[in-house]
Amino acid sequence: MCDCLFCKIIAGEIPSEVVYEDEQVTAFRDINPVAPTHILIIPNKHIASINELTPEDESLVGHLFAAAKDLAKQEGIAESGYRLIINVGPHGGQEIYHLHLHLIGGHKMRHPMG
Catalytic (active-site) positions: 100
DSSP letters of 35-66?
SSEEEEEEESS----GGG--GGGHHHHHHHHH
Q: Is 46 in the site for Zn ion (CB under 5 A)?
A: yes
Q: Which does 18 bind (CB under 5 to 8 A by kind): ligand 5GP, Zn ion, none?
A: none
Residues 6+ apart with CB under 8 A from 14: 5, 8
Q: How far is the CB of 99 from Zn ion (least distance, A)?
A: 8
**Phi, psi of 72, rounded to the nearest 5 degrees:** -60, -40
- Residue 102 touches Zn ion, criterion: CB under 5 A: no
Among 1, 3, 23, 32, binds ligand 5GP (CB under 6 A): 32
What are the residues binding Zn ion (CB under 5 A)?
A: 4, 6-7, 46, 98
